[in-house]
Amino acid sequence: MPLTRNPIPPDAAKAFMRDLRAYHATKNGDQRTAIAARQAEQLSKHARAVVKLAEVKELFDRMK
């Protein structure tokens, strides 16, 4: 995932953290995939590049 110099807006950062907590709170694989997919879409908008679902899942796992 490429880094950008543009900071992520505070509301997007809060949504990311909320989804991170929800991702780790559930053990349901389908719900985890839906959460990661939502964040992949949002991060892609802010990074102006494609952020893959697998990258978001790895990021979430590393941030546990």
Angle 41-43-47 from CA coordinates, rounded to 5°: 120
Q: How confident is the model at residue 5 (pLDDT cuts 50, 70, 90)?
A: low
24/64: higher pLDDT: 24
Q: Does residue 3 register a pLDDT over 70?
A: no
* Cβ atoms 43, 1 nearer than 8 A: yes
Longest dimension (CA), the chain: 35
The mean pLDDT value for 1-21 works out to: 83
pLDDT single digits (tens) 44-62:
988 888 999 999 999 999 9
* Cα 22 from chain centroid (whole Å): 11
pLDDT at 31: 97
Percent of the chain with pLDDT over 90: 70
